[in-house]
Each structure stands twice: as structure tokens, then as C-alpha cells.
Structure 1
Amino acid sequence: MSTALIPTPGFREALAFEWTKFASLRSTVWTTATAALVTVLGAVFVGLTGSLQPDDTVLGGSLTLSVVALMAAGVVGALTVSGEYASGTIAATLAATPRRGRVLAAKATLLAGMLYGLGLAACTVAYLLGDAVLDGSYAQGEPLPALFGVAALFSAVGVLGLAIGTVVRHAAGAVAAVVAVLLLPSLFGPLLGGLRPWVAGASPTAALEKLTQTSDATPDTVGTLGPWPSLALVTAYTAVALAGAALVLRRRDV
């Protein structure tokens, strides 16, 4: 009596599995929704309170709270995998798709595509609302192609969170690590003297400040690297982190 081998699911099937799991996990859905909502509400709040600096731009002011949304994007990435470890479903996932690199690639693709679309839509709406609410005394800024760059940064930080969550596995630890990666370079940068622009300038939050053209993005705080090279740098070390996470995932039992 012969038994047929069960075929290994392809990438499209793995991607569909990941979407089903993501949509069924309330923590990731609500955190993703929060990332979009806080960006839009931040534009309205800043516009109505008139709390911008005189040298700020409409784009920078409208996206003031996008840094909170960026952290939420990283947390979504971390929860996407750590939530499976917490519930124990990761074992079933890896049993259904034995090629672990494919599982991680499917998660990363889902996150990158979803966060890009969400980030672009939320930031565009925030900018339009801010432009409508703010008076004409502020410089407009250059929303295009900056908004596409901000959306790409959301994707990169989400995938970075995924890499961190894959290595750490525990939800609380992964979330804390994501927040630390985003905030600590800026918080401790002033303690590093001449190294401050190099350390703080390499962080995702620095890239966000440059892309949104906020008045806080001065060379002595976020370095002299331009917005697009900063985005490229974040993308590069995110890719390295994801490759490292894939290696860890392959070598671990679960």
C-alpha cells in the first residue's frame, strides 16, 4: 500500500495562511488600526491647537504623531510572530509549511504590503486634513515623493519588528525591544557627544523626521544624511535583521 506525499504549500498558499492568521488576531488588527487613526487624529489636533513652530511645515506638522504610528507598526510586526508563540500555533504553522524561510518571507511580504498601503493612505489623509485646518502662514513642504517614503518606512519598521519578534519570541519582550530600537538612539544620543548625529541619525525615527521635513530634523540631532539615504539605511539593516531572524528560525526546534 503506497501513501501519497503531502505537497509543501507554495508561497501564495503560505501568504494566504498568514493573512488568515493576521486577520483573526485581534491584537494585531487593533494595533494596525491604531497606527492609522493616531496619524490622522494627530493632524487635526495639531491644526486646531496651532502648536507648530513658526519654521515648521504643513507636512511636518500634519505628521507630528506619525512617530507614534511608526512605533505601532513595529509592534504589529513583533506581535505577528510572537502572538503565535504565545498561543502555540507556531508549531502548527511550521508543520504545515516546513520551509521556515518561506513562512518568514510570507509574513514579511504581508506586513510590508499592508503597512505600506495603510501608511500611505493615513499619512495622505493626515496631510490633507492638516492643510485644510492650518492657516496659510506655514510653508507647505514637499509632500511628494515624501509620503511614499514615509509609507516605505512604515513597511521597513514593521518587518524590523517581525525580525525582532522572531528572535525574542515573547510578546512583551519583543514589544519592549522594538520601542527601544526606535526611541533609545534619540534619548541617549545627547549623552554621546560628537557621536550623537551618527547614533541618533541612524534610527528609523530620524529617517521619519527627515522625510516629514519637520523643523526638529537638524543636522546636529539627526545627522547630515539625507532623507532617502536614511530610508535606505533603515531598509538595509532591516534586511540584515530579517536574514538573521530566518537563520535563527531554521536552527531552532520551534
Structure 2
Amino acid sequence: MTPRAGFRQVYAYEWIKFFSVRSLLWTTVATGVVPVLGAVFVAATGSLQPDDTVIGGSLTLSVVAQMLAAVVGALAVCGEYSSGTMRTTLAACPRRGTVLAAKGALVAAVLYVLALASCSTAYVLGDALLPASHPQGEPLPALFGVAASFSVAGLLGLAVGTLVRHSAGSVTAVLGLLMLPSMFGPLLGGAERWVAGISPTAALEKLTQTSDATAEAVGSLGGWPSLLLVTGYTAALLLAAATALRTRDV
């Protein structure tokens, strides 16, 4: 009798699949490149706002990169549904919760390491290229929180992808979750600061200490409490995704 694949075997299998899918690989690369290009662009154009910090200006395009991280999470599971390899995966490991846990661990780890390296590089470049007259801000421990927000966005995309199972629909849904709170917040009057603050992008903007991260624009919570809130509802969504994966056909 062939033993069932455990978490380590499934994780290794997921690692191979992750770096074998061209669209997923290039989206991951773009996630790491965009913050660095943003720092160079801000320095080259002199577009740093007078009241902005060096870390805020250096990570100007980190919000775009975070959206790409969410797309990475969605594609990590939707690509298998579109290609039909999900059936093979679940045949090799019938414990569906283990499959989702392995995917989540891989997505979170890859995005954390990538974002920490990319955003740290962007900050170092910004510190070297931007005018010294601007305040530095507090890069530590903020950069660790920024990297964590990328992982959370990727896990959010993974949860949505598991529930929706279609690439286009999942990408649209997860980008909506990131963007709609800040877009519709102004329509809700006094509730704007609370509604706008529930998006992963709000946590990211608070952590990057950009001058645009006012209470009215991205909520009144600080960067770390906002990240904790986003992590909490992402975990709840992952639990719902795990339940759906266990109870339905492939």
C-alpha cells in the first residue's frame, strides 16, 4: 500500500508547480521589481511630496506590487483548476486541508522573502537618490510589516481563488477587495475612516508612512493594528476556503 503524501511531500510538490507555471512566475517577478522601479522613478522625476518621508517616497509603488502579490495567490490555485492538475494533486494527497495549507505556506513564504528584499532595496535606493532634506521615517520594523502585508495579500488571493476557482473571476474579486474600500469609503460619510481601513492596502500605506495615509483616507487604525485586522479576516476567509474545498467536488 502506497503511503499518503504528508505536508512535506505536498509542499515540495507545490514548490515545483509554483516555479513551473510561466504566468505565475512572471507575476511573482513583477511583484519584486515594481517597488524598486518606483523608487528610481520618484528619484528621477523629483516627485517626492514635501511632507513625505524617504521610506514613503521609496515605496510609492508598493501598493501596486501588493496587488500583484494578491494576484499571485489567486493564480497559485486557479491555474490548477484551469489546467486540470488539481485532480492529480488531490489524488496524490486526498487530505485537501493539507494541500491548501501547503499552498498557503509556500505563497506566504515566497512573497514575504521577495517583498522584504525588494522593499528594502527600494528604500536603500531611495535613501541614496532622494534629497537629504526629507525625513527618513522609521524603516524598522516597518519593512517587516510591509513584507508581511504582501504575504497576507497573497493568502487573501489564495482564499478567493479557492472559492471562485476561475482565474479571471478570482483576480477581479481580489482586486476589488483591495480597492473598493477606499473607493466607496467617501460615499459613507463618517464611516469612511473605518471602511477604508479594512483593506490590505490601507495597512500597507500606514506602514510605509506615506503622507497620503490620513485617517480620512485609509482609516484611523495604526499600521500594525490594521495589519492585524486584515490578517484576521484573511484567516477567516481561508477557513471558509478550506471548508469549501473539503465539501465540494474538484
Task: Using structure 1 for the length normalisation, give the TM-score.
Answer: 0.97
2:51 to 40, 51, 55: 55
Distance 1:234 1:71 in 2: 14
Structure 1 residues 111-131: Cα deviation after superposition (integer angstroms, max 9, x where no partner): 111100000000000000011
Q: Which residue of 1 aligns with 2:2?
A: 6
2:237 to 215, 236, 241: 241
2:14 to 18, 26, 40: 18
2:200 to 200, 204, 215: 204
The percent identity for this pair of structures is 68
Structure 1 residues 184-240: Cα deviation after superposition (integer angstroms, max 9, x where no partner): 111111111111111111111110110000000111122221111011011111110
1:69 to 60, 65, 72: 65
Paired residues for 1:160-239 under 5 Å: 160-239=156-235
- Aligned-pair distance for 1:50? 1.0
- In the alignment, residue 244 of structure 1 is paired with which amino acid? A
Paired residues for 1:8-157 under 5 Å: 8-157=4-153
For structure 1, the residue ranges without an aligned partner over 5 or more in a row are: none
Aligned residues: 250
Distance 1:43 1:222 in 2: 22
- Aligned-pair distance for 1:53? 1.2
- Aligned-pair distance for 1:144? 0.1
Two-structure CA RMSD over aligned residues (Å): 0.6
- Aligned-pair distance for 1:40? 0.4
SS of 2:19's equivalent in the other structure is helix
Task: Using structure 2 for the length normalisation, give the TM-score.
Answer: 0.99
For structure 2, the residue ranges without an aligned partner over 5 or more in a row are: none
Distance 1:177 1:26 in 2: 22
Distance 1:81 1:156 in 2: 16
